Amino acid sequence: MDFGLQGKSVLVTAASKGIGKATALGFLREGAKVTICARDADGLKLAHEELVAATGGQLLAIQADVTDAKQVAELVEAAESAHGPIQVLVNNAGGPPPGDHKAITESQWTNSFELTVQSAVRLTNLVLPEMEKAGWGRVINISSYSVKQPMDNMMLSNSLRLAVLGWAKTLSSEVAESGVLVNTVCPGWTDTDRVNGLLQHQSLEHGVSEAEVLATITDKVPLNRLAHAEEIANVIIFLASEAASYVTGAAIPVDGGAARVV
Ligand code: NAD
């Protein structure tokens, strides 16, 4: 199937590792012109080298923190001057910290709002006018399957990711007539540094092996394993493509069946 992404200008944020990096790789394989960002200069440089070596594609890597309004504006400016107006925006960021209602401080609420909600709103507002002018665009948010089934001890993520869903759904109908589609991908447990760090941490904390910690997670997943980051990226690429031309306002779980909802 021709996804029609050849030559498209794509921005994937928070993409030096994990799901963001796998998504950038997928777009490069489709022949898109891709811009990525991350906070960490060394990690970003390494990702740039690996992605270009793997694909020979057109890739721009800009150091930027998605919570910083000035850096985000400069990121969009650099991406647009290198590759033209952004046609596909993938809003990704690190996740908010865990904790229950007693543990979370007021500043954690504020910072996590900036990270999870404001970053997506701000970036989207910067690129939408050009998408609307062109009569074509895709905004895809990376969320979590916890928007379908809240996870214990994840008060910030469970709350703020639902705000993103409400915003995305509302926006999808506001911009539908201009040819811009807005969707959200909701990954389940995925094999990335983030999850590997969690496995290590829980293994030390509970005095059990990492394999045992992993089994407690995958036992609850019908497909009985973690996702590969590429499997999340595949759905993002599809949503960006011409093949998904009648999909908007959706929140699609890619979770191996983990969320027990219909
Ligand atoms: P990861 O830790 O492997 O990679 C995160 C990337 O985001 C890195 O490139 C990091 O440099 C970048 N980043 C973090 N904060 C940033 C910021 N403020 N500005 C710019 N870049 C920043 O994470 P991942 O596992 O790929 O997760 C990506 C998203 O998907 C997160 O929101 C996470 O909560 C969510 N998610 C992950 C899983 C999973 O199992 N891995 C499951 C559900 C949801």
CB contact at 8 A, 183 and 140: yes
Confidence of residue 15 (pLDDT cuts 50, 70, 90): very high
Domain tally, the chain: 2
| Probe target for ligand 1 pocket from 92, 140, 154, with the most ligand atoms within 8 Å of CB | 92
Mean pLDDT across the stretch 75-104?
97
**Token pair for 160:** 């703020």
Residues spanned by the domain of 202: 191-226
Q: How confident is the model at residue 16 (pLDDT cuts 50, 70, 90)?
A: very high
- How do residues 175-208 score in pLDDT, each as one tens digit? 999 999 999 999 999 999 999 999 999 999 999 9
261 falls within a domain: no
CB 190 within 8 A of CB 224: no
DSSP track, 160-227? HHHHHHHHHHHHHHHHGGGTEEEEEEEE-SB-SHHHHHHHHHHHHHHT--HHHHHHHHHTTSTT-SPB
Ligand 1: distance of its center to the CA of 194 in Å?
7
What is the pLDDT at residue 2?
A: 85
* pTM of this structure: 0.98
Same structural domain, 117 and 138: yes
> Above 90 in pLDDT, residue 127?
yes
What pLDDT does 218 receive? Answer: 98
How high is the pLDDT of residue 114? 98
Name the pLDDT band for 234 (thresholds 50, 70, 90).
Answer: very high
CA-wise closest residue to 92 among 55, 153, 47: 47
What is the overall mean pLDDT for the chain? 97
Residue nearest (by alpha carbon) to ligand 1 atom 10: 14
Pocket of ligand 1 (CB under 6 A): 14-20, 37-40, 43, 65-67, 92-95, 115, 142, 144, 187, 189-190, 192-195
The answer to whether residues 158 and 213 belong to one domain is no
**215 and 121 within one domain:** no
CATH number of domain containing 143: 3.40.50.720
Q: Whose CA is nearest to atom 36 of ligand 1?
A: 144
